[in-house]
Structure 1
Amino acid sequence: MRSTVGAVPSSRAASPPPPAPPRRRRSYRLGRWDLSYSPYLYIAPFFVLFGIFGLFPVLYTAYVSLFDYELLSGTKEFAGLENYRELMADAQFWNAAYNTVGIFILSTVPQLVVALIIANLLNRQMRARTLLRMGILIPNITSVAAVGIIFALIFADRYGLINWLLGTVGVDPIAWRDNRYASWFAVAFMVDWRWTGYNALIYLGAMQAIPKDLYESAALDGASAWRQFWAITVPLIRPTILFTVIISTIGGFQIFTEPLMYGFGLVRGGADHQFQTLAMYIYERTFTGNAEYGYGSAMSWLLFMMIIIFALINFALVRRSVKGEQK
């Protein structure tokens, strides 16, 4: 029998679909635009604020450093690199740089080492572990002014607690403010007391992300707790260690509040500038006396370069040491 159903015309079968309405096309384009560009809009406020309050001051400081600019008199004359040449011959600048590097080494190295040890202890099963984790952050949230006053009394020359304890064992009192290296130690101890717990919590957070199976396997193989720490913990938290090293370097070279409070609010940093840091000297030359804004800007740029150089050196040293442990 022959089918009675008629064949579909070829022109009808091959006809294209009707065009989409203009509104649907517009919504499709908006959807694609939203997926492509909306992430940039979400992060744009950060970059706008960073450009206004971060990048612009840095560039403007570089511009002002090329001028002989005094805020009080209002004089502003182009000086080129004269501020930098004068800075290279400034003995007080090099004294402040020497103090800054010394305090930085005395504060940063013990701080990170002790923080790593504390974090490793808090990562174990122990009683009151949560209370201890909260307690080590108390020094960081304490008022800096209160910390400065307390430590100034602890390290007082005549009636300080430290000299009293030294006297009980027959040791002569130490001139904690008049002696350069003793004042370094006192300021560094204050910095360590404030920031060790903070870095310990950062390390602890990284340690919590390490799988426990690795430690169990190492224990079955006979690895001691010390061996597990160096072979498992330290290599796996290497990015966190590098982060704290860089952040501590940046903060250490900009140290200002602790030595200022230790010197009872005087930016001279002692009678002979024995614990005056670069940040204190920048403040002294920029906002006191003749308010040499151009000279202070030149110092700020040199401090910026020093921070970058030391951060890169620390980054390379820590990375090399951790790679050596992995081998």
Structure 2
Amino acid sequence: MKTRNMSWKRKGFILAFLAPTVIAFVLFYLYPIVTVFVTSFCKWDYTNITSPEFFGFADMWNNYKYIFELYPYFWEALRNSTIWALLGVFVQIPVSALIALAFSRKVKGVKFARNVYIIPSMISSAAMGMIFLQLYSPLYGVVNPVIRLFKQNFSENILLLKGPAFIAMTCAYIFFTGTTTLMILGNIMAVPEDVREAAMLDGASGLKQDWYITIPMIKDTLRTVSILSATAGFLLYNEVYFLTKGAAGTYSISYVIRELAITSTRTQFGRANAVAVIQILAGMLIIVFVNLLYSQLFKGKRIRRNGGQS
């Protein structure tokens, strides 16, 4: 009997401890997600802004049909957001990892270099967008004079040129890797020193240590920051808003949601939520993709290492 009472007290303590987190999750995450999903099948705009109306089972896909077939910017936004997500995985994370590996070296001045490198990450993305808006200005920016070194009399705004605008948008965020670099660096510094010493005794150079020891040992952190970077690229919004507002083929999924729900004179909340559902599903696919990618990468790496040892 006493053991049973202890068991119930323990369970009660665990439930009481978890209750605030569960309540916060339900109120601030689960409820909004369910609401977005349900209202994506509803007529919800300026005509019934306080009371969404379910289309009925025969027409429940109306919002999605509009987004897929009639809305002019959805496929462009989906393509752009997907490219930015992939660039986050295949460009931003490798750059972050290389810089973190360089910062992990015990050389003179590395602490100062780390601090200087982190400073841009302390600036909000909105402020960074405004900074790049000035850099790209055709009147007093620094980009047009550089272009004129190769193309005389160039005076156009690159943010209004399809193609260059997308590249300019990408450069405004892809190389700012302070946060991800810090996360990777912290994990690198946690690699046991005796493992490195053993590798040195076996004749492994610095680069071989990085490739065969450090990177495999921080693979979980690399996987995590890859997911964060990919989702940040897919959800790109501030840079789009401050630099182009979707002009010249630079729409993003997040900007489409804003345009439907806020900018549109019809306040098309139902259609915006249909795009939001697609965004949520895409986020889940990103997680699956990154996990599969890292499983394959490190599976192949283990095979090569075992093959080399044999």
Q: Take 2:152 and 2:190, find their aligned partners in 1: how far apart are those partners?
A: 47
Select which of 113, 124, 130 maps to 1:132: 113
* Mapped pair 1:319 → 2:295: yes
SS in 1 for 2:163: helix
Asked whether the equivalents of residues 106 and 185 of structure 1 are also in contact (C-alpha less than 8 Å), the reply is: no
In structure 2, relative to structure 1, the CA distance for the partners of 1:290 and 1:100 (3 Å cut) is: same
User: How far 1:146 sits from its partner (Å)?
Assistant: 2.3
Instruction: Choose the corresponding residue for 2:36, options 43, 46, 61.
Output: 61
1:1-35 CA distances to partner (integer Å, 9 max, x unpaired)?
xxxxxxxxxxxxxxxxxxxxxxxx99x87755443
Tell me, in whole angstroms, the C-alpha distance in 2 between the residues paired with 1:262 and 1:108.
Answer: 23
1:71 Cα shift? Answer: 3.6
Give how far 1:312 is off: 1.1
In the TM superposition, 1:176-195 aligns within 5 A as 176-194=158-176
Aligned residue number for residue 64 of structure 2: 84
Q: What do the CA deviations read for 1:198-237 (whole angstroms, capped 9, x no partner)?
A: 1011101111121112222222222222211110011111
Distance of aligned partners of 1:128 and 1:298 in 2 relative to their CA distance in 1, 3 Å threshold: same
Instruction: Give the Å deviation of 1:169.
Output: 5.1
Offset of residue 250 of structure 1? 1.9
Partner of 2:277: 301
Q: Please tell me whether the aligned partners of residues 107 and 191 of structure 1 are also in contact (alpha carbons under 8 angstroms).
A: no
Q: How many residues align?
A: 295
Q: Which range is displaced more, 94-103 or 278-287?
A: 94-103
8 A Cα contact 1:175 1:182, kept in partner: no
Contact preservation (8 Å) 1:108, 1:252 = no
Mapped to 2, the partners of 1:256 and 1:129 lie a distance apart of 33
Deviation, 1:37, is 2.8
Aligned residue number for residue 92 of structure 2: 111
- C-alpha contact (below 8 Å) 2:260/2:268 kept by paired residues: yes
TM-score (norm 2): 0.86
User: C-alpha displacement at 1:54, in angstroms?
Assistant: 0.4
2: distance between equivalents of 1:131 and 1:42? Answer: 42
Whether contact under 8 Å (1:122, 1:129) holds in the other structure is: yes
| Corresponding residue for residue 256 of structure 2 | 281
Letter of the aligned partner of 1:222 in structure 2?
A: G
Does 1:155 pair with 2:130? no
**Counterpart amino acid of residue 110 in structure 1:** V
Q: 3-state SS of the aligned residue for 2:172?
A: helix
1:98 aligns to what?
79
SS in 1 for 2:43: strand
Query: Offset of 1:108 from its aligned partner?
Result: 4.3
Q: Percent of pairs identical after alignment? A: 24
